[in-house]
A and B are shown apart, each in its own frame.
Chain A
Amino acid sequence: MNSQLKILLIKALKFIVILAILDIGLGMGVRMLFFTQHSGKFFRMNRSFTKANADIFIFGSSRSNHHYHPEILNDELNLKSYNVGAQGQQILFQTTVQKIILNRVKPKLVILDVSPEWMYKSTEANDNLSELRPFYFRYPEIIGPVLAVQSQLQKFWLNSRIYQYNSTIVHIIYYRLKPQIDVDGYVPLFYTMTPRDSRSQILDDSLKNLNGKPKSIDTIYENALTSFLQNARSRNINVVMVYSPDYSGAKAVGNPSAERINAIGRAMEIPVIDYSDDPYFRNHPEMFNDIHHLNDQGAKEFSRQITQRLKAYL
């Protein structure tokens, strides 16, 4: 064998061993750091995967996270509820999280807080699925196929323990220094939006829509929604879809994405409760933190109102 090739192979072998040691050693360190968090979104995700047990589970994006106050639901319905809402996450994420949770517990009711835009293709939604990476080693058969939506080659990278915890360290440090208030998953927002805030945010949204590409429906998301609903149904768990309030009344009818959500709901006989254009909340800045999120006052009011509607499905 060529002497240079021999030197190279020995060097490569040494480097691979060093890399493996570093990946395993440092990987153990970052994993420990990750799973000893006591606050923040990753902590809430871990708790909902491993510990949370409730009669009502609420799934959804940040809107779900900030809109449903479990203590109010508990008091009004006399049932324990838990909020699994996660910032920036859409239906693919919800379906994955639901599968993991329902493998462990059997609630009476599952609420899916849907957004009218959820069926549109979204790179951002797919990118945000990365937040599932730290849990891949525990649920590879559930999380693996979902991460493949980002890239078929994700599996290659997920062999690295360190990569599974990519972009988590600052979050961990941030919420260790500044713990986030959370009540059974619910994260309250305390700012009260001013009419000026609302005007500028509505303008920003309109500009984004104007400059954005034409939106198209993604069948992967349609299938994910169907799967979410079927998964609960097959376990005899009631499901309700809710459009929660929006400051400017983001209507749940009239846009193709919302129409698809509603059609899937109708086909599977899933009730849909629509608060998206509810006059009680619409154009009431005192109830909102920003145009898409209720503040704590608004969330409490909405939670009181929704419990009355939910009684029919329990």
Chain B
Amino acid sequence: MYFNTTQYILFLPLVVILFYLTPFRFRWLLLLAASYYFYVCWRAEFMVVIIFSTMVNYFSAILIARNKTNKRNKKIFLTIALVINLGMLIILKYLGFINDFFHEIFGIIPAPTSPLLYLIAPVGLSYFTLQSLTYVFDTYYNLREPEKHPGIFALYVAFFPLILSGPIEQSTHLLPQFRDKARAKLKSVNIEEGIKLIIWGYFLKLVVADRTSIYVDAVFGNVDRHGGITFIAALILYSFQIYSDFAGYSCIAIGSARLMGFDVLHNFNRPYFSQSISEFWTRWHISLSTWLRNYLFNPLSYYFMRKLQKERYLKIIKPELLTYAIAASITFLMCGIWHGANFTFIIWGSLHGFYLIVDRIINKKGGNRVLNIIITYILVLFAWIFFRSENVHQSLTVIKAILTHPGSLYIPFDSDVVAPVYAVLGIFILLMVEVKREFFNNSFSLSGNKNEYIRMASYGFMIFLILYLGVFDASQFMYVKF
């Protein structure tokens, strides 16, 4: 079940009501049952994967903790957990891609024929795998004690608001909340905050993302027919589509958790107002970038720093810079691969790694804020070409058209004639809200007003906009497929 289905809109209040009616000691059981039901709605077979993943990580953490003093054993159990988690990810998500790659590039393995190579990856696999690994790493680094209660740990892995597309939670942040009795008390402020986030999430998804997708899909579905101007328009719309789709999903997830008193990490912070690419990654998909920083970039930096400090050629390049360049390149290459089994994602990730290195070399501070925002947005937009394209050839066609063949702006004249107008209308409202929050945060606010009636009327008006302008076809959230 997607968040944008009527089923979810009926499912969520039911779970919330039952949650508060259930005695605290049984709430984990209710939430676990609800989460498994939510997950089974996709495909019952997927449960095997999630239960297996839960068991592996639960026992790994216990074994790691039992060997606190025995570094060798501790490392062995961490390695086993890593191999199983990443192995599962590779087999279910990347095996077909790897097979295709070696077949096409080197011809060293036979053409892919076995359907086993193309197993359907369970939804949310990339997310709950990273979330589980967070827990294993945190136990390994003695940041937490292992969770003894298998039910509560299973809930941490499968918690329904987060299982499909995150935010990828930190075990030190989310797990203790399942045991926090004070937090679990019914508080009207949590309910109001949750509803507010959910309404905003639905606005982003139904009014902005799903409207923009109509134009973007029409253009990218037929790249040979369009010129550069059309691609630029489609890319700008796509930048809002992907942001609204994922930020909308995240708001609904965070809001759903908040209704039950849980505080989940925020995933977006108006990323298109970033003044540099490094700032962009502190505002875009924050839970993933935090994960990558903590568990990939920092260990890599530490490792390479130790190795490279002794090297002689570092008289030319500063060891800090070289360390940063290597760690950033690897981290963002992995970030690209995490998004999907396609070279387009690899290029997208590598491009962001490259941007970060250049950013670090230039190390420019200050300057005109608006200009910085525009330059950063253009760089991000360019990278979106690869992210949106079906394959590298398509990306190159788009870039070539932008550089050499401006053409005229494509305006659909059939039944979709009004779709782009709705998209622009939705983006306009989104920008008004975001500009206000970014630049005039202390000024008058409707949704944050002290007057309860004004606040409620603003939520009501947002619901009006969703019902009047939204797309109600229960389309898939884009990040669910990653």
A8/B188 in contact, CB under 8 A = yes
Say if the beta carbon of B428 comes within 8 Å of chain A. no
Contacts of A8 in B (CB 8 A): 186, 188, 191
A261: Cβ under 8 A from any B Cβ? no
Q: Which residues of A are found within 8 Å of B7, using beta-carbon distances?
A: 153
- Besides A14-B453, A167-B422, A167-B468, 5 more A-B contacts (Cβ < 8 Å) are A18-B456, A19-B460, A157-B6, A163-B467, A170-B425
Chain A residues close to B by CB (< 8 Å): 2, 4-5, 7-8, 11, 14-15, 18-19, 22-23, 26, 30, 87-88, 127-128, 130, 151, 153, 156-157, 160, 162-163, 165-167, 169-171, 174, 204
Q: B470 and A11: CB pair below 8 A?
A: no
The complex places the Cα of A65 from the Cα of B422 at a distance, in Å, of 25
Q: Is the CB of B191 within 8 A of A160?
A: no
B345 to chain A, nearest CB (A): 23
Interface of B is mostly: helix
Q: Which of A11, A15, A127 contacts B473 (CB 8 A)?
A: A127
> Could you tell me the distance in whole angstroms from the C-beta of B45 to the nearest C-beta in chain A?
22
B463 within 8 A of A: yes
Whole-angstrom distance between the alpha carbons of A157 and B460 in the complex?
Answer: 15
Q: How far is the CA of A8 from the CA of B472 in the complex (A)?
A: 29
CA–CA, A31 and B6, complex, Å: 24
Establish whether residues A156 and B422, one from each chain, have CB atoms under 8 Å apart when the complex forms.
no
Of A15, A30, A128, A169, chain B has the most CB atoms within 10 Å of the CB of A15
Bound Cα distance from A19 to B188, whole angstroms: 18
Q: Which A residues lie within 8 Å of B473 (CB)? A: 127
* Residues of A with C-beta under 8 A to B459: 15
Whole-angstrom CA separation of A64 from B404 in the bound complex: 42
Contacts of A19 in B (CB 8 A): 460, 463
B188 and A171 within 8 A (CB): no
Number of B positions contacting A (CB below 8 A): 33
Contact status A11-B452, CB under 8 Å: yes
Q: Residue B457 at the A interface, CB < 8 A?
A: yes
Contacts of B467 in A (CB 8 A): 157, 160, 162-163, 166
Closest 7 CB pairs of A and B: A153-B6, A170-B418, A8-B188, A162-B467, A163-B467, A22-B460, A170-B421
> Is the beta-carbon distance between A162 and B461 smaller than 8 angstroms?
no
Q: How far does the Cβ of A14 sit from chain B's closest Cβ, in whole Å?
A: 6
Task: Give 26 CB contacts A-B under 8 Å.
Answer: A4-B185, A4-B187, A8-B188, A11-B188, A11-B452, A18-B453, A18-B457, A19-B463, A22-B461, A22-B463, A26-B464, A88-B415, A127-B473, A128-B415, A153-B6, A162-B467, A163-B467, A167-B418, A167-B422, A167-B468, A167-B469, A167-B471, A170-B418, A170-B421, A170-B425, A171-B418
Q: How far is the CA of A169 from the CA of B460 in the complex (A)?
A: 19
> Chain B nearest CB: distance from A79 CB in Å?
31
Query: Does chain A have a CB within 8 A of B192?
Result: yes
Q: Which residues of A contact B80 (CB under 8 A)?
A: none
Query: Which residue of A14, A127, A157 contacts B452 across the interface (Cβ within 8 Å)?
Result: A14
- Please give the distance in Å from B287's CB to the nearest CB on chain A: 29
Q: Classify the interface of chain A: helix, strand, loop or mixed.
A: helix
CB contacts (< 8 Å) of A169 on chain B: these are: 468-469
Residue of A nearest to B192 (CB): A11
Judged by a CB distance under 8 angstroms, whether B417 is at the interface is yes
Return the chain A residue nearest B187 by Cβ. Answer: A4
- B444 → A minimal CB distance (Å): 19
Contact (Cβ within 8 A) B452 A166: no
Cross-chain contact B418 with A2 (CB below 8 angstroms): no
* Min C-beta distance of A39 to chain B, whole Å: 14
Q: Give the docked Cα–Cα distance between A156 and B6 (Å).
A: 9
Contact yes or no, B464 A162, CB < 8 A: yes
Number of residue pairs across A and B with beta carbons under 8 Å? 78
Measured CB to CB, the closest approach of chain A to B125, in angstroms, equals 25
Residues of A within 8 A of B425 (CB): 170
Cross-chain contact A170 with B422 (CB below 8 angstroms): yes
Complex: A5 Cα to B421 Cα, angstroms: 43
A165 to B471, CA, bound (A): 12
List A contacts of B418 (CB < 8 A). Answer: 167, 170-171, 174
Chain B hits for A4, CB < 8 A: 185-188
**Given the complex of chains A and B, what is the CA–CA distance between A128 and B415 in angstroms?**
10
A128: B residues at CB distance < 8 A: 415
Using Cβ atoms and an 8 Å threshold, which residues of chain A touch B471?
167
On chain B, the residues within 8 Å of A87 by CB distance are 414-415
Q: Render B181-222 as a binary contact track against A, CB cut-off 8 A, 1 for contact.
A: 000011110011000000000000000000000000000001
- Do B6 and A151 touch across chains, with their CB atoms under 8 A apart? yes
Among residues of B, the one whose C-beta sits closest to the C-beta of A165 is B468
Residues of chain A with a CB closer than 8 A to B188's CB: 4, 7-8, 11
Residue from A30, A171, A174 within 8 A of B468 (CB atoms): A30
> Which residues of B sit under 8 angstroms from A163, Cβ to Cβ?
467-468
Q: How far is the CA of A18 from the CA of B10 in the complex (A)?
A: 21
Residues of A close to B469: CB separation below 8 A: 166-167, 169
* Contact residues in B for A127 (Cβ distance below 8 Å): 473
CA distance A205 to B474 in the complex (A): 26
B418's closest neighbor in chain A, by CB?
A170
A7 contact set on B, CB distance < 8 A: 188
* Cα–Cα, bound, A130→B467 (Å): 13
A162 vs B425: C-alpha distance in the bound complex, in angstroms?
18
CA distance A166 to B7 in the complex (A): 20
A-facing mask of B55-69, CB < 8 A → 1, else 0?
000000000000000
* Complex interface: chain A residues within 8 A of B422 (CB): 167, 170
Q: How far is the CB of A60 from chain B (nearest CB, A)?
A: 15
**Could you tell me the distance between the alpha carbons of A160 and B463 in the complex, rounded to whole angstroms?**
11
Chain B residues with Cβ under 8 A from A153's Cβ? Answer: 6-7, 10
Find out whether the CB atom of A166 lies under 8 angstroms from the CB atom of B464: no
Contact of B186 among A2, A162, A165, A174 (CB under 8 A): A2
In the assembled complex, the CB of A3 is this many whole angstroms from the nearest CB of chain B, namely 9
Residues of B within 8 A of A2 (CB): 186
B456 and A15: CB pair below 8 A?
yes
Q: Which of B222, B415, B457, B470 contacts A166 (CB 8 A)?
A: B470
Instruction: Please determine whether A174 and B417 come into contact, CB atoms closer than 8 angstroms.
Output: yes
- What distance in Å separates the Cβ of B417 from its nearest Cβ neighbour in chain A? 7
B438-482 vs A: 1/0 string, CB under 8 Å? 000000000000001100110111011001111111000000000
Nearest chain A CB to B208 CB, angstrom units: 14
A287–B222 alpha-carbon span in the complex (Å): 27
Please tell me which one of the listed residues B415, B464, B470 contacts residue A22 in the complex, with CB atoms under 8 A apart: B464
For A6, give the chain B residue with the smallest CB separation: B188
Bound state CA distance, A171 and B464, in angstroms? Answer: 18
Chain B nearest Cβ from A16, distance in angstroms: 10
- Write the nearest CB–CB distance from B463 to chain A, whole angstroms: 7
With the chains together, A163 CA to B9 CA distance in Å? 16
In the complex, A87 Cα to B415 Cα: how many Å? Answer: 7
